[in-house]
Chains A and B, each alone.
Chain A
Amino acid sequence: MKFILRRLAFYAVAAWAALTLNFFIPRAVPGNAVESIMAKFPTLQPSAYRALEAMLGVGHPGSLWHQYWAYLNDVFHLNFGTDLIEYPAQVSTLLAQTIPWTLTLVGTATVIAFFLGTGLGIVAGWRHGGWLDRGLPALMFLQAMPYFFLALILIELLAIRAHLFPIATGYAGGLVPGWHWAFIGSAIYHALLPALTIVITSVAGWMLQMRNVMITTIGEDYVVAAQAKGLPNRRVVFTYAARNALLPQLQGFGLALGFVVSGALVMEIVFSYPGIGLLLLSAVTSNDYPLMQAIFLVITFAVLLANLIVDLLLVAFDPRVRARETG
């Protein structure tokens, strides 16, 4: 329990840091959102300045301390303010529309990539120097490729040339989103190519790490002892070597997640996938600051939550962590 509590405290600090950064960045940089909007629309009268300030909530009423508490209160109630571009819409409504898309796509694809990469890494590490292991440089090439570039290539080859997949968007036009099979089937069909992109680019990273840890683990005495006892290979690989090699891999998963999510966001833009990434692009291109801030918070909190889950898994997998807790 102690370990989990410590981790919970850490994530609380991280969440607080993200919230505070989010609060201070707009106030620390020269210029502000209102000025940038005024510059963007020269037709606006100077008198619109106050109105814009009030709309954005950047008029800074009260002391900084007071503002900070009001801000925390707003975030706690999921009130991220009013969107600038689709004006009367609430930012939280926009987020609620896009989050399920991203969560399903990126979540599923990342989990698939993790298991596939770890499995391949086990084989490559065990058969060190085998064909899979020697194929690694090719996989590194895929890993070094930006997500969105691979997305461009896949669209060109598989969607435009071969007509195997739809080019863009999350579901076929004319369908009404809802829980019926026509829509779900179409959504899955449209998600295949984006998911493939995530899997292809991120699988090499998991694989490389697992392979390296695996090779080091195989040299450990307890693995040699297991082999000397004459245990079948399968048991040595999975119960002795891979199980222990998995722990650094799991720890790495939490940290690499932010990377994967970042890449996937940019990739969504290429596919015009109706997720957070596309929303982020429209926020960036139109200087939609409330939306940008809210997206930053949502993504950060999602990654923190995923990290917490990974920590719980670590406790389940690693007897040493459990032992430390009771002792």
Chain B
Amino acid sequence: MTAAPPIIAEPPAALPAPGVRAQRLGQWRRLPLKAKSGVILLGFFVLAAIIGPEVAPYDPGYQNPAPSLVMHPPDAAHLLGTTQTGQDVLSQLLTGIRLTLELALIVGVVATALAVIVGVSSAYLGGVWDEVLSLVTNVFLVIPSLPLLILLLGYQPSRGQEATILVLSALGWPWGARVIRAQTLAIRGRDFVAAARETGESTWRILAIEIIPNEVSLIAANFVNTVLYAIGASVALAFIGLADLSSWSLGTMLYWAQSQQALQLGAWWWFVPPGLAVALMGTALVLLNTGIDELGNPRLRDASRAARIGGRRQWPADPTPVLHALPPPRGKLADFVHSFSRSSLLDGGSGARSPLERRGGKT
């Protein structure tokens, strides 16, 4: 990917130490802001998932029998308050982030692998294979996933983590497969693939060495999307009770909060933290994906900084400004004063806007 680096105004101060580290730092600095904030936010949650259950102050399932701890608002001992049964919300949250993120990452890996297999083989093999695989992909794309997930999971004898991962992975691949198929079709016709085929390389080698490495950014974006889908779907499924309700995930927390009337009893500290965690994780992933998009397509980048020409904001969508047609960036009084100066001779009139500009640029 040749992502055009944005114009860097600062002098290359990192030159004295042109090591790998400095280079990496430069790459990081060049990332779009959205990608950076996505990475940082996501990193925070990954950290919480790794160390969370170890630093959790209480056992998330421990029901403190003290009557004063029934739905206690946040205080020093319980930073996020307690539930109806005296359980510590913070501990549940820290455990829940790990479980939810773990599930989403596994689903992301499995479903993305499926998407790559289906997409690449569909496009590369072509013919009947392509027709059949595309049809299956499109059918699964158009069937709404949640009701099908509910049906599949509802019939499972156990509704634990493994069953959820299985079902979510089984339905999470079609979108990626479609995108990857399109990309493979585009790459397949390129000269270097033809050259590889002419030199007699095996199909597997062409797929693994020539084609898939060229789709890495697409696969990465798809992985992020799938993780996003897995978080949303698993939380929704747990929220309606289709999960192992004795484990602590963000979804089961919300399930218990809803079923034990946290809302009606005004215990906002019970349902806001898990919901907010889901929303923030989702935001991080969306930001990351937008960042990846912008890296690949510089046109999408934020262009608000370089857009002042002749004292007037120029939008990227505007036609190239003709300096002469620009209205002078002055008020009426300043205009009047300016008309006495020598440079006003260049304006071609006493500061009046050109008729072209006034009528919205109509010829």
**Chain A interface (Cβ within 8 Å of chain B)?**
10-11, 13-14, 17-18, 21-22, 25-26, 29-31, 33, 36, 125-130, 133-134, 137, 140-141, 143-146, 148-149, 152-153, 155-156, 160, 167, 208, 212, 215-216, 218-219, 223-224, 227-233, 241, 254-255, 257-259, 261-263, 265-266, 269-270, 280-281, 283-285, 287, 289, 292-293, 295-296, 299-300, 303-304, 307
Contacts and interface: CB of A to CB of B under 8 A. Distances in A.
Tell me if B's interface is mostly helix, strand, loop or mixed.
Answer: helix
Contacts of B147: 262, 265, 280, 295-296, 299-300
Contact of B275 (A21, A145, A228): A145
A214 to B, nearest CB: 9
Interface of B: 34, 37, 135, 138-139, 141-148, 150-152, 154-157, 175, 228, 232, 235-236, 239-242, 254, 258, 263-264, 266, 268, 271-272, 275, 278-283, 285-287, 290, 293, 297, 299-300, 302-305, 307, 315-319, 360-363
Contact of B315 (A22, A30, A129): A129
Given A29-B155, A292-B150, 20 more contacts: A10-B135, A17-B139, A29-B156, A29-B157, A128-B303, A129-B304, A129-B316, A137-B37, A141-B279, A141-B280, A144-B281, A145-B278, A167-B264, A227-B319, A233-B360, A233-B361, A255-B141, A258-B144, A295-B147, A300-B144
Given A134-B302, A212-B293, A232-B361, A153 B286 contact: no
Nearest to A276: B147
A254 B142 contact: yes
Given A144-B286, A284-B242, A128 B316 contact: yes
Contacts of A134: 302, 304
B154 A143 contact: no
Nearest 6 Cβ contacts at the A-B interface = A144-B282, A262-B146, A258-B144, A129-B304, A149-B275, A145-B279
A213 to B, nearest CB: 10
A134 B37 CA distance: 14
Nearest to B360: A232
Contacts of B258: 152, 269-270
Contacts of A261: 144, 146
A218 B228 CA distance: 30
Contact of B154 (A228, A230, A284): A284
A269 B143 contact: no
A33 B157 CA distance: 10
Contacts of B302: 128-129, 133-134
A215 B282 CA distance: 24
Contact of A25 (B152, B241, B281, B319): B152
A303 to B, nearest CB: 5
B280 to A, nearest CB: 8
Contacts of B318: 227
B146 A140 contact: no
A148 B236 contact: yes
Nearest to B151: A296
Nearest to A277: B240
A266 B154 contact: no
Contacts of A283: 154
A13 B143 CA distance: 11
Given A13-B139, A299-B144, A219 B299 contact: yes
A258 B145 contact: yes
A263 B229 CA distance: 12
